[in-house]
């Protein structure tokens, strides 16, 4: 009788062991399935990104070339404006100085007004030339003449004549003092 009680006491433990094994097995199988599904999703996402990025590669080089050209024109305009602002600040210092002579102050004021006129004329010229269909333009004016940098691989004689006409009509500068440079 003692043996029966002992057998009955151990029997539920034996019945519980297969249930625990099943629970552990199904739990580990679920984890494996989740991991496999996650890997499949990542693989599909990687393939999609690969196709997407390889399609953009062709346009990427064109965008880089355009950005480089825009950067050149932007840098030139920025440099021009920076130098002009530094010069105007220097002239303001002469004008504000108590030790400057009246002649020096008058010359500084005249030079400052000339630089301000150049700045406004440059913007007008750039906009007028762009209106003729050129993508980007950088105009720099000085006492010796006008320099025009145009975003174009080559300029034909008609385009040069258009630009030259705009510059000479707007500024009154002689055509011999206008330099037009194409930049691709």
Tokens representing 11 are: 């029997």
Q: What are phi and psi of 87, to 5 degrees?
A: -65, -40
pLDDT at 180 over 90: yes
Please state the domain extents for the chain: 2-183
Q: Between 96 and 58, whose confidence is greater?
A: 96
CA distance 99 to 58: 63
Please give the share of the chain, as a percent, with pLDDT higher than 90: 41
CA distance 46 to 51: 9
Mean pLDDT of 116-137: 92
| pTM, 2 dp | 0.59
Mean pLDDT of 128-156: 90
- Residue 183 and residue 151 in contact, taking contact as beta carbons nearer than 8 Å: yes
- Residue 113 and residue 91 in contact, taking contact as beta carbons nearer than 8 Å: no
SS3 helix, strand, coil % of the chain, rounded to 5? 80, 10, 10
Architecture per CATH, domain 2-183, reads as Orthogonal Bundle (1.10)
pLDDT at 1 over 60: no
pLDDT in tens, 63-103: 555 555 457 888 888 888 899 899 999 999 999 989 989 99
pLDDT value of residue 68: 52
Task: Quickly count: other Cβ atoms within 10 Å of residue 126's Cβ.
Answer: 19
pLDDT value of residue 72: 80
Decide: residue 36, CB within 10 A, 0-12 exposed, 13-18 middle, 19+ buried. Answer: exposed
């Amino acid at each position: 009788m003692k043996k029966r009680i002992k057998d009955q006491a151990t029997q539920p433990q034996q019945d519980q062991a297969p249930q625990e094994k099943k629970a552990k097995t199904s739990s580990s199988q679920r984890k494996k399935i989740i991991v496999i599904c996650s890997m499949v999703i990542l693989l599909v996402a990687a393939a999609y990104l690969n196709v997407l990025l390889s399609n953009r590669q062709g346009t990427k080089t064109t965008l880089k070339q355009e950005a480089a050209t825009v950067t050149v024109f932007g840098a030139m305009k920025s440099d021009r404006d920076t130098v002009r602002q530094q010069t105007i600040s220097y002239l303001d210092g002469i004008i504000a100085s108590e030790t400057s002579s009246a002649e020096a102050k008058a010359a500084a004021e005249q030079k400052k007004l000339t630089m301000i006129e150049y700045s406004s004329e440059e913007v007008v010229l750039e906009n007028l030339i762009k209106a003729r269909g050129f993508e980007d333009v950088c105009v720099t004016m000085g006492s010796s003449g006008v320099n025009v940098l145009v975003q174009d691989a080559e300029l034909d004689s008609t385009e040069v004549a258009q630009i030259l006409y705009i510059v000479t009509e707007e500024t009154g500068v002689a055509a011999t003092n206008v330099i037009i440079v194409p930049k691709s």
